[in-house]
């Protein structure tokens, strides 16, 4: 499908909706991994098997085949356009939004600036708290302005999110939940020595997300 972002500007979208869907999650991609990246493909497939529909979409720079992300105002405008499209496709389903890494951060920033109409909660898959090797919490400053429930899925080996810094930000917020995946890096890969596979981690992410969405809509 095509999603209109501005006059004369469109991006590609991809809807995966099981017949018995119980919610729709608008899912943004990360800075270096487009919407058709295998991680998002597999996550969407697993969410569908748990009755959670997804609407993935491309940011304009990725649509053009570029590697350098657009400026935040463009990214957030694209998030808003995708949420509008999701709302029109949801047909009464509870609506959620979020994304992988940068996609999740841009979604939370958009929500902090002005509510995303109809969105009942945010899912941040690997929230990028800081650049690798540059620990900081500056990127999380806006989270205090988000009033809807938030789910953070984080790996213990994520070099873009020191959990010693992220936990003190998330845990005091009464509407925020963090689920930590032991041994996972920013891409949610785990070492063979962990005794787990990447597929098992994806199952865990989908299961936790589906259960959290169920709780959020009660």
- Cα torsion for 124, 40, 82, 64, to the nearest 10°? 120
pLDDT tens track for 67-120: 999 999 999 999 999 999 999 999 889 999 999 999 999 999 999 999 999 999
Q: Give me the pLDDT at residue 152, please.
A: 98
pLDDT tens track for 195-216: 999 999 999 999 999 999 999 9
* Axis-axis angle for helices 198-216, 38-49 (nearest 10): 50
The average confidence (pLDDT) of the chain is: 96
Token couple for 203: 């199952």
Q: Give me the pLDDT at residue 168, please.
A: 97
Q: Give me the pLDDT at residue 6, please.
A: 83
Average pLDDT over residues 173-188: 97
Confidence grade of residue 129 (pLDDT, cut at 50, 70, 90)? very high
Average pLDDT over residues 20-31: 97
Q: Give me the pLDDT at residue 193, please.
A: 96
Point out which residues pair with 125 in neighbouring strands: 100, 153
With pLDDT > 90 as the criterion, what percentage of the chain qualifies? 95
Token couple for 188: 């949610």
Query: Per-residue DSSP letters for the chain?
Result: -EEEEETTEEEEEEEE--TT--EEEEEE--SSS-TTSHHHHHHHHHHHHTTEEEEEE--HHHHTT-SSPPPHHHHHHHHHHHHHHHHHHHTT--EEEEEETHHHHHHHHHHHHS--TTEEEEEEES---S-TT----GGGGGGGG--S-EEEEEETT-TT--HHHHHHHHTT-TTEEEEEETT--TT----GGGT--HHHHHHHHHHHHHHHHHHHT-
pTM of the model: 0.97
Q: Give me the pLDDT at residue 8, please.
A: 79
Has residue 7 got a pLDDT over 80? Answer: no
Confidence grade of residue 218 (pLDDT, cut at 50, 70, 90)? confident
Q: Which residue has the tokens 């995708």?
A: 82
Q: Give me the pLDDT at residue 15, please.
A: 97
């Amino acid at each position: 499908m095509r999603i209109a972002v501005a006059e004369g500007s469109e991006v590609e979208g991809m809807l995966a909706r099981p017949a018995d869907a119980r919610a729709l999650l608008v899912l943004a991609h990360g800075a270096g991994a487009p919407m058709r990246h295998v991680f998002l493909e597999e996550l969407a497939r697993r969410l569908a098997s748990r009755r959670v529909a997804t609407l993935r979409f491309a940011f304009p720079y990725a649509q053009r085949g570029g590697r350098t992300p657009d400026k935040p105002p463009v990214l957030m405008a694209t998030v808003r356009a995708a949420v509008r499209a999701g709302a029109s496709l949801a047909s009464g389903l509870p609506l959620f939004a979020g994304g992988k890494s940068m996609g999740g951060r841009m979604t939370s920033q958009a929500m902090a600036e002005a509510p995303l109409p109809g969105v009942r909660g945010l899912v941040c898959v690997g929230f990028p708290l800081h650049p690798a090797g540059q620990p900081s919490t500056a990127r999380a400053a806006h989270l205090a302005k988000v009033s809807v429930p938030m789910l953070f899925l984080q790996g213990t080996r994520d070099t873009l999110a020191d959990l010693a810094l992220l936990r003190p930000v998330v845990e005091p917020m009464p509407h925020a939940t963090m689920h930590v995946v032991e041994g996972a890096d920013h891409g949610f890969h785990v070492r063979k020595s962990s005794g787990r596979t990447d597929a098992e981690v994806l199952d865990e992410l989908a299961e936790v997300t589906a259960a959290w969405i169920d709780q959020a809509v009660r």
